[in-house]
Amino acid sequence: MDMTGLSKSRVLVISVDAFPKIGGVSNFAHHISNAIAERCEYAALMSPRMSTKTEIEDNYYNLFPETEAQFKNYEKNKEFEDNRIKNTILSFCKENSINKILLAHHYYYGDGALSAASELGIECELIVHGTELSSQFIESTNVRGRFRPRPVGSRAFQLYRALVRSQKVHCNSRFTKNIAMNIHNILNYSVCGCGLDTRKYMSSGRWKIEGAGRKRHARNANGWTEDVMHLCYVGRIVKHKRVERIYSILEKMDCVLHIVGGGPYEKEVRHAAKTKGIEKRVIFHGAVDESRKNSIVEMSDYLFLPSQMDLKTGGYEGFGITALEAIALGTIPIVSGHEGLDDLTSLYRIGLRGLISEQDADRTITLMSEYKDEYKYKSHIDEARSIIEKHLTWKHVLERMWC
C-alpha cells in the first residue's frame, strides 16, 4: 500500500502489549493507531480491557477494549482462545468494514488475527520490536547462528508462524530486521523505527532551545541547589539495560544519578551502588507519572542508555525511544550504540555514543566535557530536534511502513 491509497483504508490495529502507563514501546500501538487515523478513513485499536488512551493531542482512533481477553491463561486454553479471538475479530471487521489488520505484537492475538484475515481475504501485517524475537530465537542474534526448528504449539513456533504468514513485517531498527531475517527470510519488510509526538512538547512550551540557565532553574525547582552535574536513566531495570555501568562515571567525577523506573534487576543495581560507596549520589525514584519523569529528564545534563544484549535472555534495546524524549526536553542522550541503539548514533545521529563497555568511562567523561560549552550543547539539541521533525515523528514511521 502507498500513502495515496491510505485515505480509503479502514485499519484494525491489534496488540496485547498496549498499556500506555508503562511508556516506551508499549505506547507504540497507540501512537501508530493515531497516525493511521489521521491519514485513513477509519482506525481502531483492539487491546485487552485494561488499556486506556495515552495522553496524545487529538486522538482520532477508536479504542476497542477486548473485554473477553484471558491472555494470562492463554497457554492452557490456546485452541479455545484462538477460535474465540478469530471470531471476535471477524465480527468486528465485518461490522466496521475493516480492510487491513496490523498486529502491533504477535503474542496472544497473532494466530486468531491471521486466521481471521485469511478468511476475510484482507492483509495482515506484523510489527516486531526485538526482544520477543531474540528471547525465543537466541541463535538468530548471531549472523552465523543456525536456525533450530521449535516444537509445534510453543511460543517460539507461534512467532515463527506469524513471521511466515504476515504479508509484511515492520521492524523498529536495522538490528531487529537482521534478527527477523535470520529467523525467516522475509521478502517484504520495512525498518520503520519509532517516533515522537512532537505536538505534545510544542504545546507544553518545551520544544525550544534551553541552555544551562534553564537546567539550573529546573534543578532549583526540584530542590537541588548544589552546582553539580546531574545524570539520569529512565526505563525498566533489567540486566540488559546495564544501568550499573553509569556508576563508573560517578566513581570518577562529582555528579548525581537519577534512576526512574523499576524492575527485576533493581536489587542488584542498588547493591552495586552500596558496594562502590556511591549510594548517596544515586537517587531511585521508582515509577513516576509523566510530569515527574519529564521534570527529572529536563533538569538532567545527560540521559544515559548504556544497554547491551543479555545473551542469556536475549533482551536488548530495540530502538531507544527515551532518547527522543530526552532531546524534546532539552537533554542530550548518551547511548551505547549497541543493537537497536546504533540507529540513534549512526543513522539519525540523535545521541552521543558513550559507555559502550565498563572500561569506557574516561572516554565518555572526555566526551561530556566537550559539551560544557553551552553553544555546542544547544547546537546539538537544535540539530537533533530538526532531525526528529524531518524523520522521527509517527507520521514518518507510518510512511516508512506503507510507502
DSSP structure string for 164-179: HH-S-EEESSHHHHHH
The whole-number pLDDT of residue 25 equals 56
Query: How far is residue 42's CA from residue 34's CA, in Å, rounded to a whole number?
Result: 10
Q: Which three cell numbers mark 261?
A: 523506573
Phi, psi (rounded to 5 degrees) for 274: -70, -40
Contact assessment for residue 10 and residue 99, using Cβ atoms and an 8 Å cutoff: yes
Write down all domains in the chain, each with its CATH number in brackets: 3-192 (3.40.50.2000), 198-391 (3.40.50.2000)
What value does the mean pLDDT of the chain take? 89
Q: Please compute the mean of the pLDDT values over residues 119-125 and round it to a whole number.
A: 97
Instruction: Write out pLDDT tens, residues 272-303.
Output: 999 999 999 999 999 998 889 999 999 999 99
Q: Please compute the mean of the pLDDT values over residues 43-55 and round it to a whole number.
A: 73
Q: Which secondary structure element, helix H or strand E, spans residue 335, and what is its range? A: strand 332-335
- Antiparallel, parallel or unpaired: β 62-66 and 100-103: unpaired
Contact assessment for residue 340 and residue 176, using Cβ atoms and an 8 Å cutoff: yes
Tell me the pTM.
0.91
> In the predicted model, is pLDDT for residue 5 greater than 80?
no
Q: Which three cell numbers mark 240?
A: 540488559
Instruction: Write out pLDDT tens, residues 186-216.
Output: 779 999 999 998 887 776 666 555 555 677 7
Burial of 224 (0-12, 13-18, 19+ CB in 10 A): middle
Contacts of 226 (CB under 8 A, 6+ apart): none
Question: How many other CB atoms sit within 10 Å of the CB of residue 229?
Answer: 17
The whole-number pLDDT of residue 328 equals 94
234: nearest Cα among 310, 311, 134, 335: 335
Query: How far is residue 329's CA from residue 299's CA, in Å, rounded to a whole number?
Result: 9
The whole-number pLDDT of residue 202 equals 73
**Three-state secondary-structure class, residue 65:** strand
The whole-number pLDDT of residue 389 equals 95
Instruction: Write out pLDDT tens, residues 316-327.
Output: 999 999 999 999
Instruction: Write out pLDDT tens, residues 73-88.
Output: 888 888 999 999 999 9
